[in-house]
Amino acid sequence: MGTGGGAPSSSSASSGWSGFWSSALRSKRLVSPAEKAAAESNGRGLSRRLGVLDLVLLGIGASIGAGIFVVTGTVARDAGPGVTISFILAGASCVVNALCYAELASRFPAVVGGAYLYTYTAFNEITAFLVFAQLMLDYHIGAASIARSLASYVVSILELFPVLKDNIPDWIGHGQNIGEVLSINVLAPILLILLTLILCWGVGESSAVNAFMTVTKIVIVIVVVLVGAFEVDVSNWSPFAPNGIKSIFTGATVVFFAYVGFDAVANSAEESKRPQRDLPIGIIGSLLVCIALYIGVCLVITGMVPYMYLGEDAPLAEAFTSKGLKFVSVLISIGAIAGLTTTLLVGLYVQSRLYLGLGRDGLLPSIFARVNSKRHTPIHSQVWVGYVASVLAGLLNVTMLSHILSVGTLTGYSVVSACVVVLRWKDRTNSQLSISAKQEGVICLVAIAACGFATGLLFRYDASPIFMILAILVAVGASAALLIRQAYSDTPGFSCPGVPLLPCLCIFFNIFLFAQLHHEAWVRFVVLSLVMVGVYAIYGQYHADPNAADTIMYHRAPEDEAQ
């Protein structure tokens, strides 16, 4: 009796487990150019209104916030004038990541989704869902944190007027803490609601707002650099690396995150006029402009004031005030408001497009897949991300969560680099890649990531260089195996150079940086992954359809149709 009763239960469990894995391991089909062209001929969906300049400004708007006026001086206190090299090294690393994004953006020019979409196609459904979850938590907390900073800056500007100075309660803009978790801020949700309304209005209108604010920000940075150049004392640049080379490399790991944002351009694929050509230009062009602006600010701030005298909270503004140029400090505050506004605007935009992609694929409820027929924007997704950010920004002290951020960014960058390698694989006879060959390649990619994490831990805790060299050698061996034992196809459109070595370098360095994060960030990565596997098991596996996007309808802008 006992044996007979247990058999059906065991069979059912086995069937459920088998069904879970068959769903989790399915992947999205790579749509052919002909199918993309057919989809483009339909007349519903998102509107293609973004030109190459819009995309460049979108990337700059996402990358450069108030941090350009703060993080440059903060890192310079440790790295000295060598902070310029820190920004160059971090910028070079981001350029390599940007090349990977540019190839995939060119290869998937017709569909929204970014890193999630690339992972779904190159790997499988469950991995793509986990990448989305890690990215989205970063975006939600980041948006709330930026909104609170923006509210604080706005109040600071208002307090320049004598009638308002010291008369604005903390709960309006600076935040009124109630215990360690709750913190009331009224202005932050209001700003989020305004930006959400702009984004719901239409991509053309929101792009115009972003362009105006980004140009304002760029002009202010250029003015700050030009005015500061006349106050530079070159003797302040010596010694160039007062705390040694390691402080410069450590600084590079910190300022790497100042460049984060160029990947936002990849999520505008469905709204770009000529995505296959313009997306790579937008991604790489915006990053190069950001690198130039950061280097200019670094040279000015370390030349104006000896690095050891730089302030902690507002080093650039204090440097100009010490030279009797208080008007520049006001300009910096205005630039910070413009920078935070564009960063927040683009962040909300990207979130809604990611939700749109998952809604279409069935991994989230279908309401997220709806696109307004008049505005051609995903209003339901946009309102949702605005609502989540408003609740977090209005009620919680989100700065407490800042040390668990950047996990999603580094995860996304690493997986995108791996996607470039995987999607280039083919066997020696040009037929479909064999299962064993793909498994071998994936093992090599995982080995590179593991070596990057090990090297990062060893660097962080000042271990013997011998162990770091060993980890690096293993990573080099895995990269060599990928180069020798796999064949790589050419891609239409933009191609990342040096595949697989350049993407492998990206994976190694991104995971190296992952090891530098607070240990609570590692816990967050594991816990969130386990929770989202549960969500997928309960909902996602039963509703997802990898081929859903094959029937997506696209809308071409009127001016494009006439061409």
Can you give the pLDDT at residue 560? 40
Of the candidates 55, 442, 428, which has an alpha carbon nearest to the alpha carbon of residue 271?
55
Q: How remote is the C-alpha of 457 from its chain's centroid?
A: 23
The H-assigned helical ranges of 362-406 are: 379-395
What is the rounded CA–CA span in Å between residue 305 and residue 97? Answer: 33
Q: Which residue has the tokens 């409820």?
A: 365
480-509 residues labelled b (16+ CB within 10 A) or e (exposed): ebbeeebeeeebebbbbeebbebbbbbbbb
Helix axes 501-514, 83-107, angle to 10 degrees: 120
Average pLDDT, consecutive stretches of 10 residues, N- to C-terminus, the chain (563 residues): 53 75 87 55 68 95 86 89 95 94 86 89 95 95 92 89 86 87 93 97 92 96 95 94 90 90 88 90 95 95 92 82 88 92 95 94 94 90 97 88 87 96 71 75 97 95 94 98 91 90 96 92 96 96 78 38 39
In this structure, are residues 44 and 371 in contact, taking their beta carbons and an 8 Å threshold? yes
Element of type H or E holding 221: helix 203-229
In this structure, are residues 295 and 259 in contact, taking their beta carbons and an 8 Å threshold? no
Q: What are phi and psi of 130, to 5 degrees?
A: -70, -40
List all residues 6 or more positions away from 166 whose beta carbon is below 8 Å from its beta carbon: 159
3-state secondary structure 107-150: HCCCCCCHHHHHHHHHCCHHHHHHHHHHHHHHHHHHHHHHHHHH
The H-assigned helical ranges of 305-374 are: 315-322, 326-361
Can you give the pLDDT at residue 549? 52
427-460 residues labelled b (16+ CB within 10 A) or e (exposed): eeeeeeeeeebbeebeebbebbbbbbbbbbbbbe
Instruction: Compute how many other C-beta atoms are within 10 angstroms of the C-beta atom of residue 471.
Output: 22
Can you give the pLDDT at residue 428? 42
What is the rounded CA–CA span in Å between residue 563 and residue 559? Answer: 7
Of the candidates 488, 490, 542, 219, which has an alpha carbon nearest to the alpha carbon of residue 365?
542
List all residues 6 or more positions away from 343 whose beta carbon is below 8 Å from its beta carbon: 61, 62, 63, 64, 65, 146, 261
- For the record, the structure tokens of 204 come out as 């053309």
Cα separation values, 199 from 335, 349, 452, Å: 22, 7, 39
Burial tier of 165 (Cβ tally within 10 Å: 0-12, 13-18, 19+): exposed
What is the rounded CA–CA span in Å between residue 377 and residue 524? Answer: 32
User: CA-based diameter of the chain, in Å?
Assistant: 92
Q: Which amino acid is at 455?
A: T
Q: What angle do CA 294, 58, 327 make, to 5 degrees?
A: 50
What is the rounded CA–CA span in Å between residue 381 and residue 22? Answer: 29
Can you give the pLDDT at residue 8? 59
Domains belonging to the chain, first-starting first, are 48-404 (1.20.1740.10)
Q: How remote is the C-alpha of 151 from its chain's centroid?
A: 23
